Structure 1
Amino acid sequence: MEQIERNTHLPTRIAKQFAQRIHDGALKPGDKLPTEHAMAQSFGVSRTVVREAIAQLRNEGLVETRQGVGAFVVERQFRHIRLEDGQRMDKHAFSDLFQLRVPLEIEAAGIAAAHHRAEHLIQLDDSLARIALPLDWNTEGVAADLDFHRIIAQATGNEYFPQFIGAIADRVGHVIIAAREQTMPDEIRAITITEHTAIRDAIRARDPVAARQAMRFHLTGSAQRVGLALQFYN
């Protein structure tokens, strides 16, 4: 496997390599991916990073995971969205991204509050715990943050939300890293935990209005941390 550059969002890079092999037909439906241990050794990363990469592939509908067995390529029954990533983002690109995130993720939070299942709350709690105690702030920390938002998308029960949010995960990762470069680590960690906890609490309370408000507050803060002022029209 190709060694991964350390200054990139590692899970996304690994997911991209496997996605390309699936699209090219090198990996076919039913084929099993290498084990987490084998992938971690091949790419020179931790198993946590590998798990996040597999989660991205699963969210994009490219693989399925079987408990105790591994990850397998699935038959694609409809087209999934995949953006070319890896390009450095400027302020204009950040602005464009937030124009999409605002309606998409605010609505997802509200729907998740109404339709989530018990397992989604467990998964949100797990991602929050990983945000609080990441081993590496720019890998595991970013992975946990992105995972939190993908779980919300899945909790909507609408397959399109995880497709769209999974497609922009790499770009969102750039925003998270850029925000952390502007703020002291302990401060940004505390802010991140507070904002995500408010979203989780509103979803747990099955309060769509509060969940939407909490996500709006989080996205506004996230934009401000990269020098943007969001405009709302309602």
Structure 2
Amino acid sequence: MTTYSSSYTGPQWKIAQVELDPETRTPAATVMEPTELAGPTAFWPDGTTSYLLHFHGGAVTSWTVADEADTAVRALEAVRTGEEIAPDALRAYIRDVRRLETRMTALKEELLLIAREPGPTGRARLTFREIGDELRQHHSTVAERHQRIVDGDPAPWRAWLTQHTERAALYSNGGELPRTPEPPREHETNVYDSEEEPGKVIARCRCGWSGPAGTNIVTAARQGKAHEDQPEA
């Protein structure tokens, strides 16, 4: 295994360009190994550079974006070097850059939604002005776009981005909006099995109060509710 950093001792994939056996399609010979490794970056003897991305997403999300981003980088290099681009390659460049652009729009707008959703404090994570500063847009423009999404006008690729996640049900097709988390109450009770008296249940409160042990769950729940209503009683 080739490590990317002298400070990292975990297993890594070996970085090398290999030649495949035409029959078995397995590595037959190493064509080239990098001359230098710097974190996820590899420098090759032919003057090229590669960057290794790490992600957990499946083929429909992270892998797709990585593949289209690779095409976009190759298109960028072709533009900068002034090479003649064949029609097939040109079509592939245009297609993947367009797809990547639409996926990035969906991701940007999903981050906008998350930024305006209530965080752990119960307030929006970012203000419209803070979001506008990062997007280089006036905060009123950001607020208007946010409202249109909430009203049912999401980015075309949002369903692709959020598929198989809990966020897929939000903001679209009548889905609910994220709820503001309620701050923990000082007095909140529940019914538990008694540790001291097996077979019995007991109501306990977050504040440390506990009721008498009994055999009836309904009675214990009522005792807990009475404590919540009148904790000083």
User: Common fold, TM-score beyond 0.5?
Assistant: no
Task: Report the structure, 1 or 2, having the larger helix content.
Answer: 1
The higher radius of gyration belongs to 2
Q: Which has the higher contact order (CA 8 A, sep 6+)?
A: 1
TM range (shorter): under 0.3
Higher strand share: 2
